[in-house]
């Protein structure tokens, strides 16, 4: 039986009373446009995501009806120029959009990251003019959805060893192989796929749903990113027209360039999840009475909150600076790795501490913390695992490769 206070807390949590922490007055570093973009996404998440997300996560279902709204708030390809249907925004706006969406749910942010950074970005950066005109406007409007196939059953952290191939058949290529753990795969209309050509070079291409020999079986039984659809991509002699190959890129730098874009967004996004956990725990700590006091009055709980806000503030400063460097085209891949790793680590730690602060209520779906915590277990693994990003930083500072 819930106490009256617990029922009140439940009711208020459903209303989404989120107030973003801004301990170092970071808003003063943002332009009016940044704040406008951030606030409109924040409002949209409160109205459209918070009320439904827990149910969808419990049912392990992707809320497909949100796609139109995601497109309307500019979440698909925020930095892609307006002439191709994008929003033409800078990287700080992009980061803020990801932060606010992931404040709602990492799975919804994953869909936006994949569409913008892993599907639209490679078409924009590596594609022909015809490919850009054909796909980008429809992807920006959400009329068409995409997925990104790099990881394979036997090749995750080391994609250079991939075994998917394309064989030149004169007027087309034949694609064979399989990709695993692909976000959006079950419903995507197109897939940006990476495979080796006859020379052993990694090439990128656009594979369309409906091409003979192409299937996308769904992956079930996930305890993480339950509101995101994940699947495989299976290619059995799929005929790829030559005009579907990206003309302007060869080698691993193709997919890695896309991952840089997405990792930048994740660095901001994971902070959003951390901010939501902190805000929830802070509010709860002032309302929940034990030993005749709000639990927030006990030093042990204050220690948790004080450490959370310190980590969030450091993380906010790091991603803001990274955004400035990215806008100036000076952010290195290693700097992006550091921020992705740092944000996800702090978010996971905060989620775990915040969950404990809510006691038994922390394990229920009445509050977002446990969902964030489980989601972050995927976020810490995809787009380069925690260990791999550490190795990237290690290699960057020493000049020595510890991968092999």
Ligand X SMILES: Cc1cc2nc3c(=O)[nH]c(=O)nc-3n(C[C@H](O)[C@H](O)[C@H](O)COP(=O)(O)OP(=O)(O)OC[C@H]3O[C@@H](n4cnc5c(N)ncnc54)[C@H](O)[C@@H]3O)c2cc1C
What residues line the site for ligand X (CB under 6 A)?
A: 114, 147-151, 156-157, 181-183, 225, 230, 378, 381-383, 385, 387-388, 391, 403
Strands 190-196 and 146-149: parallel
Q: C-beta of 27: minimal distance to ligand X in Å?
A: 32
What phi, psi does 351 have (nearest 5°)? -60, -40
Nearer to ligand X, 258 or 354 (CB): 258
Among 143, 63, 152, 155, smallest CA distance to 109 is for 63
Nearer to ligand X, 10 or 385 (CB): 385
Query: Residue for token digits 């995507």?
Result: 188
Nearer to ligand X, 23 or 403 (CB): 403
Query: Residue for token digits 């049912």?
Result: 59
Strand residue runs (E) in 4-130: none
Nearer to ligand X, 18 or 194 (CB): 194
Residue 94 CB-density burial (10 A; 0-12 exposed, 13-18 middle, 19+ buried): buried
Q: C-beta of 156: minimal distance to ligand X in Å?
A: 2
Nearer to ligand X, 147 or 312 (CB): 147
Q: How far apart are the C-alpha atoms of 373 and 352, rounded to whole Å? A: 7
Annotation says 383 is catalytic:
yes
Q: C-beta of 170: minimal distance to ligand X in Å?
A: 29
Q: C-beta of 386: minimal distance to ligand X in Å?
A: 6
Residue 4 CB-density burial (10 A; 0-12 exposed, 13-18 middle, 19+ buried): exposed
Query: Of the listed 152, 232, 353, 383, which one is catalytic?
Result: 383
For residue 319 the two structure tokens come to 């991603």
Nearer to ligand X, 230 or 316 (CB): 230
Query: Residue for token digits 């709204």?
Result: 69
Q: How far apart are the C-alpha atoms of 354 and 357, rounded to whole Å? A: 5
Query: Residue for token digits 């949209």?
Result: 44
Q: C-beta of 403: minimal distance to ligand X in Å?
A: 4
For residue 302 the two structure tokens come to 């204050």
Contact between 357 and 280 (Cβ < 8 Å)? no
Of all residues in the shown chain, the one whose CB is closest to ligand X is 156
Q: How far apart are the C-alpha atoms of 224 and 357, rounded to whole Å? A: 21
Q: C-beta of 78: minimal distance to ligand X in Å?
A: 19
Q: How far apart are the C-alpha atoms of 191 and 118, rounded to whole Å? A: 10
Q: How far apart are the C-alpha atoms of 212 and 97, rounded to whole Å? A: 37
Q: How far apart are the C-alpha atoms of 365 and 56, rounded to whole Å? A: 11
Indicate which residues carry an active-site annotation.
383
């Amino acid at each position: 039986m819930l106490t009256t206070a617990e029922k009140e807390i439940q009711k208020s949590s459903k209303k989404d009373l989120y107030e973003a922490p801004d301990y170092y007055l970071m808003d003063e570093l943002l332009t009016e446009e940044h704040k406008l973009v951030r606030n409109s996404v924040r409002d949209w998440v409160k109205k459209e995501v918070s009320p439904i997300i827990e149910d969808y996560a419990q049912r392990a279902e992707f809320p497909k009806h949100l796609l139109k709204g995601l497109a309307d708030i500019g979440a698909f390809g925020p930095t892609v120029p307006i002439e191709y249907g994008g929003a033409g925004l800078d990287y700080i706006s992009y980061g803020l959009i990801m932060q606010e969406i992931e404040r709602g749910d990492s799975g919804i942010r994953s869909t936006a990251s994949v569409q913008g950074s892993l599907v639209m970005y490679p078409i924009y950066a590596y594609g022909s003019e015809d490919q850009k005109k054909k796909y980008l406007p429809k992807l920006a409007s959400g009329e068409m959805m995409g997925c990104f196939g790099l990881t394979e059953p036997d090749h995750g952290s080391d994609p250079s060893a991939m075994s998917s191939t394309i064989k030149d058949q004169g007027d087309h290529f034949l694609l064979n192989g399989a990709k695993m753990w692909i976000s959006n795969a079950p419903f995507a209309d197109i897939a940006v796929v990476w495979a080796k050509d006859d020379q052993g070079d990694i090439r990128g291409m656009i594979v369309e749903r409906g091409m003979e020999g192409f299937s996308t079986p769904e992956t079930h039984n996930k305890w993480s990113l339950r509101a995101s659809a994940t699947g495989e991509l299976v290619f059995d002699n799929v005929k790829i027209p030559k005009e579907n190959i990206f003309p302007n890129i060869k080698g691993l730098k193709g997919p890695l360039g896309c991952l840089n874009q997405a990792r930048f967004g994740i660095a901001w996004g994971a902070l959003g999840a951390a901010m939501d956990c902190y805000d929830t725990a802070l509010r709860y700590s002032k309302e929940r009475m034990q030993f005749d006091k709000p639990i927030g009055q006990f030093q042990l709980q204050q220690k948790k909150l004080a450490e959370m806000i310190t980590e969030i503030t450091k993380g906010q400063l790091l991603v803001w600076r990274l955004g400035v460097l990215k806008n100036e085209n000076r952010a290195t891949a290693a700097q992006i790795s550091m921020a992705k790793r740092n944000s996800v680590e702090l978010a996971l730690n905060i989620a775990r501490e915040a969950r404990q602060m809510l006691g038994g209520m922390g394990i229920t779906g009445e509050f977002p913390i446990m969902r964030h915590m489980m989601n972050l277990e995927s976020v810490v693994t995809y787009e380069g695992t925690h260990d791999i990003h550490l190795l990237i930083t290690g290699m960057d500072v020493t000049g020595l490769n510890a991968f092999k």
